[in-house]
């Protein structure tokens, strides 16, 4: 086996998608959340200190860093569930919602047909 074929095998192993959760990918997801938590919390503390010291612009960042951390937790949750193969199914629509949607789609189709007819008429004139 040559070094080139070993390198190709290594590259294929990185990009292959497995059916079961990979401990390595799961570990990287958890590590990413840990890094994001450390960065956001430390930045929050720094901005609070700066804001209480008189820098009024820092008050915006005091609220921004917790929001970024909340987004990191949301993405962590989605990635972990995706890795585990958990999917969230949308709630089934009721009969009234289905009927309303069909009526709305029929209305949109009628508008589209009227618009197309008007466009043909304008082009013919």
88-101 pLDDT, tens digit each = 777 787 888 889 99
Q: What are phi and psi of 86, to 5 degrees?
A: -85, 125
pTM for this structure? 0.56
pLDDT single digits (tens) 10-20: 555 555 555 56
Q: Measured between alpha carbons, how far apart are the two ends of the chain, in Å?
A: 74
Q: Is the pLDDT of residue 8 over 70?
A: no
Q: Give the pLDDT mean for 54-82.
A: 94
pLDDT single digits (tens) 11-44: 555 555 555 668 888 999 999 999 999 999 999 9
- Residue 73 CB-density burial (10 A; 0-12 exposed, 13-18 middle, 19+ buried): middle
pLDDT of residue 11: 53
Residue 25: Cβ within 10 Å count: 15
């Amino acid at each position: 086996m040559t070094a080139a074929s070993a390198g190709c095998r290594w590259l294929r192993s990185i990009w292959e998608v497995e059916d079961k959760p990979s401990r390595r990918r799961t570990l990287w997801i958890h590590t990413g959340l840990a890094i994001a938590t450390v960065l956001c919390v430390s930045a929050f503390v720094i901005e609070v200190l700066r804001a209480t010291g008189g820098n009024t612009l820092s008050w915006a960042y005091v609220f921004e860093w917790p929001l970024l951390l909340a987004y990191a937790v949301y993405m962590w949750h989605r990635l972990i569930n995706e890795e585990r193969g958990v999917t969230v199914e949308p709630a089934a629509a009721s009969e009234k919602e289905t009927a309303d949607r069909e009526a709305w789609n029929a209305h949109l189709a009628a508008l589209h047909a009227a618009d197309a007819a008007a466009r043909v008429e304008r082009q013919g004139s």
